[in-house]
Amino acid sequence: EVVLTQSPGTLSLSPGERATLSCRASQSVTSNYIAWYQQKLGQAPRLLIYGASSRATGIPDRFSGSGSGTDFTLTISRLEPEDFAVYYCQHYGNSRWTFGQGTKVEIK
Amino acid sequence: EVQLVESGGGLVQPGGSLRLACAASGFTFSNSGMSWVRQAPGKGLEWVSYIGTSSTTTYYSDSVRGRITISRDNAKESVYLQMNSLRAEDTAVYYCAKYYSGMGSFDYWGQGTLVTVSS
């Protein structure tokens, strides 16, 4: 089973700053099946990125995904007030889905 | 507009059973795989189960296999999760999620239903 490790656990930044979130897989994975989600307190997750780098419908272009092999990154180019939330990476393979433990982006 | 509405959560004693339902609308339900994903209080996301378009394909996480059964009714545009032999560690918000076909991800989620296993 692929284990996803996200870092850092918490990212303290100010609005307008750039956020870089990391997701490392325990073994090399196909980037086709790496996704990123945003979850705000009390809400359901929202798909941001699929296929490691494709933005989901309606997602602003300040969100971008990259990576391959075992290392994947979600970048938020300029943080807006509504971007402060928890972010999860996710992988699909061998008939199972796994999530990272999450990175909280908080206001500094 | 895609909508997924879960129901059936509540308080149940350890060893008890519960059946969750998810009513879908706004997309061609019969063409979409569906999953349940749960989130324990204050914790991260954990995938639970998946069902393919015609119910012939089902997958389960190791933590629930043998205790939980996923099913669907395409005529009613609904997916279900029958949970038996419930344990305290099954306490979580259970989300219904639409599988983004071929993309390995979930493009729409319901608001969730809370299951509490406690005596």
Question: Tens digit of pLDDT for each residue in B23-51?
Answer: 999 999 999 999 999 999 999 999 999 99
Neighbours of A55 (CB within 10 A): 18
Q: What is the pLDDT along chain B (119 residues), one digit of tens a residue?
A: 999 999 999 999 999 999 999 999 999 999 999 999 999 999 999 999 999 998 999 999 999 999 999 999 999 999 999 999 999 999 999 999 999 998 999 999 999 999 999 99
Q: Tell me how far CA of residue B60 lies from CA of A7, A55, A97, B67, in angstroms.
A: 28, 28, 10, 10
**Nearest CB to B111: which of A44, A57, A97?**
A44
Name the closest residue on chain A to residue B98, using Cα atoms: A47
Residues 63 through 92 of chain A touching chain B, CB cutoff 8 Å: 88, 90-92
Is B47 strand, coil or helix? strand
Find which of A32, A33, A47 to mutate to test the B interface (most B CBs within 10 Å of its CB).
Answer: A47
Name the closest residue on chain B to residue A104, using Cα atoms: B44
The mean-pLDDT minimum among A6-10, A30-34, A92-96 falls in A30-34
Residue A82 and residue A100: Cα distance in Å, rounded? 22
A19 pLDDT band, cuts 50/70/90, is very high
**Nearest CB to A33: which of B44, B104, B111?**
B104
Residue B14 neighbours by CB under 8 Å, 6+ apart: B86, B87, B88, B117, B118, B119
**Nearest CB to B61: which of A39, A51, A96?**
A96
